Structure 1
Amino acid sequence: MDRRSLLLAPLALTAGGAMAQTAAPDTAKVVAGWPTPTGTIDLWPKGAPGQLHPDMKEHVEETSLDPAVKFRRVQGISKPRMAVFPAENPNGGAMLIIPGGGFWWNYFDHEGYQLADYLNKQGITCFVLFYRLANDGWQNAADVGTIDAQRAMRLIRQNAAQYKIDPKRVGVAGFSAGGFVTASLATRHAQALYAPVDEADQLDARPMIAAPIYPVISLDPAIAYEGTAPSLFGAPATAEQIARYAPDHNVDAQTPPMFLTQAEDDTTVPVANSIVMRDALKARGITVETHLFASGGHGFGMKADLDRPYHIWPQLLVNFARSQGLMG
């Protein structure tokens, strides 16, 4: 049976024995031929820590006006989890994919499922992260996305044998606000941000490579995305918060090689966000590849617009991943 015909069959975590997993959002509206996960993995078997609104419900919206195109987004995520996309011919590499949405949403189609589908064809098994959102109301709102990303990386490695993955060859890619979580994972992977819950938390959370795509990075008011500080802190960022949370302030010798891409005419997140991250990586001698396109705006995702050069970025990412050894 082709994996696309498997509709979110529950998986068992090797860490906790057989247990039902929370399905991906909007499972009743799958379109034939659309990228579909084969299952999910819950991040927190005993519930996510720090919830302030126990009655919070997930809300899914379809924002596309074209019935042939899916452009879904979800908020109110109280059960963070990963949607699983196994490669048909796995090469041992894996990618955690983190959708964007301005800290309000996870746009999981064009910034999640479609990239997973593309990377699957390159032999890379993918995991699309439905992470907790700062604006949904959580303790430590500035950290919840990074905490979920750390936990996700560890669970991928714990379940590596099941998915025919080399646990050393797991990367991360994320878009916009998900790019902030991606860059935060890359620079803060070793920080103890949550109390361990099982043996998975003894594993390394460092990605082999990181790919923030049109990313939110900076907390400098001169170039920051205007929604970052209000979402994470509820007020303008202090000097202490900038030093603690801004990925460009946390690059060190253990930061993984990074792939950056953005459009120069991005009016939502200034392109300076990618530039300050590139400069911080170069200053520490970390491998970085940067692609800045003249046009494309914000949120171009996986658009196959052959008249706009940005459409080549997924292949450029694959080339970078291959050059860094993620594909074996």
Structure 2
Amino acid sequence: MTIDRRTLIAGSLAALPAARALAASGPSETIALWPGEAPGLTNRALAEVVTERSEDPRVPNRAITGTRRPRIEVFRPAKPNGAAMLVIPGGGYSRIVLDREGYELAPWLAERGITAFVLFYRLPAEGWRDPANTPLADAQRAMRLIRARAKEYGIDPQRVGVMGFSAGGHLCADLATRHGRQVYAPADAADRLSARPAIAAPIYPVVSMEPDIAHPGSRTNLIGTDATATMMAEHSPDRQVTKDTPPLFIVHSHDDTVVPVANAIGLHAAARAGGVPCEMHLFEKGGHGYAWGARTAGLPAHLWPELFHLWAKTHRFV
């Protein structure tokens, strides 16, 4: 199968109106991750706050803090193909950037038959025991719940992947490399299921916790300012790659001034050294936080979702 740039652009533009229509309608339902209160809460005053940061009312750009009720929101495709993706927005582990990196990509996936689940995860610095593993606990639990409800959504439990952006890309890579690490006490029968993603797509990801290339805000919020070498290694996905890490699809841009491109390069090198199938696209321009939309219109980086979709086909995911 030969796909040229013109075909990719046509496909991307053709899908835009449908994706916008789906985004306007929002998710079809919400699934709470935990029965009752999420485990490990120490800040009883914690309350969710939604801040609208957009200056254009037609283009929402909400940021969420105080996630006390972690959950996944479901975007169902009209014609499900059996694949599902857990979508993890970024925000430096200090907030969740809902629209650009969640509600924008989920409809794009649904338009292609992939059931999308947007993750609202707990933020580590907001008052939780074992803060550095709290986001991973939510990601593991979300994967298991998706598999537990696979029949209800017409999903093949062997075709559940994960995609994350920036700090959400770190959580995506953390799940890909530490999916088998026990970071919470089992809550119900769903926790007997695997949390391993079939594929993982970290997009302009935070990866390393080493001070010279780490994103400072994400690092501080996740592991603090005085983390030991052992702690840094534990929470650097490039240091945690094993033969059980799923195939990786990595995207980054050389002109990213927020998260150094060295993060993606390090993860790619670790995957290659560990024998993990991996594809990486490094774009000359794109900056940071572009997800998929007008921010990269006219640039090759705008086409990364189509490249991901083609790559997923080569792994028989879609």
Q: TM-score if structure 2 supplies the norm length?
A: 0.91
8 A Cα contact 1:35 1:114, kept in partner: no
Distance 1:32 1:214 in 2: 25
Instruction: Spell out the pairing of 1:48-67 with structure 2 (5 A cutoff).
Output: 48-67=38-57
1:229–1:236 CA contact under 8 A, matched in 2: no
Checking the alignment, whether the CA contact within 8 Å between 1:40 and 1:81 is kept in structure 2 is yes
Shift of 1:191: 0.7
The one of 145, 153, 160 aligned to 1:170: 160
2:257 aligned to 256, 267, 272, which one?
267
Within 5 A, what are the aligned runs for 1:109-148? 109-148=99-138
What is residue 3 of structure 2 aligned with on the other side?
Answer: none
Gaps of 5+ in 2: 1-20
Report the counterpart of residue 7 of structure 2 in structure 1: none
The farther-off stretch of 273-282 and 308-317 is: 308-317
What is the aligned-residue identity percentage?
Answer: 49
Residue among 279, 290, 308 paired with 1:317: 308
Q: 1:76 to 1:146 in 2, by over 3 A?
A: same
TM-score by length of 1: 0.88
Q: What is the one-letter code of the residue matched to 1:310?
A: A
1:289 counterpart SS class: strand
Deviation per residue, 1:164-213 (Å, 9 max, x gap): 00000000000000011000000000111110010000000000000001
**Cα 1:125–1:244, aligned 2, differ >3 Å: closer, same or farther?**
same
Is the 1:264–1:271 contact (alpha carbons within 8 Å) kept by the matching residues of 2?
Answer: yes
Partner of 2:317: 326
The whole-number CA distance in structure 2 between the counterparts of 1:117 and 1:64 is 20
Q: Using the alignment, how far apart are the partners of 1:300 and 1:135 within structure 2?
A: 25
Partner in structure 1 of residue 6 of structure 2: none
The alpha carbon displacement at 1:325 in A equals 1.4
**Within 5 Å, which residues of 2 pair with 1:87-236?**
87-236=77-226
- Aligned residue in 1 for 2:10: none
> What's the secondary structure of 1:143's corresponding residue?
helix
Equivalent residue, structure 2, for 1:299: 289
CA distance in 2, matches of 1:176, 1:275: 14
Distance in 1 between residues matched to 2:189 and 2:287, nearest whole Å: 43
Gaps of 5+ in 1: 1-30
Contact 1:219 1:237 (C-alpha < 8 Å) held by counterparts: no
Q: Aligned partners of 2:124 and 2:266: how far apart in 1?
A: 24
Which amino acid is the alignment partner of residue 312 of structure 2? Answer: A
Deviation at 1:238, TM superposition (A): 1.6
Two-structure CA RMSD over aligned residues (Å): 1.3
The structure richer in helix per residue is 2
Conserved 8 A contact 1:229-1:237: no
Check 1:135–1:265 CA distance in 2 against 1; reply closer, same or farther (3 A cut).
same
Structure 2 partner of 1:75: 65
Question: 1:222–1:109: structure 2 CA closer, same or farther, 3 Å change rule?
Answer: same
Task: Compute the displacement of 1:268 (Å).
Answer: 0.7
Q: Alignment partner of 1:277: what SS?
A: helix
SS at match of 2:152: coil
3-state secondary structure, aligned to 2:147? helix
Structure 1 residues 35 and 73: CA distance shift in structure 2, 3 A: farther
Residues paired across the two proteins, number: 297
Structure 2 CA distance for aligned equivalents of residues 229 and 121 of structure 1: 35
CA change 1:92–1:240 in 2 (3 A) is: same
Q: Quick check: 1:308 aligned with 2:299?
A: yes
Shift of 1:35: 4.8
Cα 1:281–1:144 change in 2 (3 A) is same
